[in-house]
Amino acid sequence: MKKVIVACGGAIATSTVAANKIKELAARENIPVEVVQCRVSELDSKKEGADLIVTTAKVRKDYGIPVVHGVAFVSGVNIEGTENKILDVLK
């Protein structure tokens, strides 16, 4: 089971869109995944055991975990490229 944290500014709107897309992607690729949503400000406290962080906000801090910028799931631009980055980490 892979753990993915999806973070945005408020942990509601954009992270929900991205979280749903990641769940769909994982299901399509037969990757068991747990998706946890949070605010960017909560990443330090939520990162334990995570394999990947996907953010819809700008993040510059190094959490020691791969970070993928997931705004493509909200904008619709370069979704395939973002999915490939996510799959590179999860596979």
Q: Report the catalytic residues.
A: 8
pLDDT tens-digit map of 20-34: 999 999 999 999 999
Shortest CA distance to 40 belongs to which of 72, 62, 8? 8
Band the pLDDT of 90: cuts 50, 70, 90. very high
Work out the angle at residue 2's Cα, subtended by the Cα atoms of residues 91 and 79, and round it to the nearest 5 degrees.
60
Distance CA 47, CA 27 (A): 22
Band the pLDDT of 12: cuts 50, 70, 90. confident
Region 36-65: mean pLDDT is 93
Report CA-CA distances (Å) from 34 to 14, 27, 87.
18, 11, 14
- Sequence length of the chain is 91
Region 58-68: mean pLDDT is 93
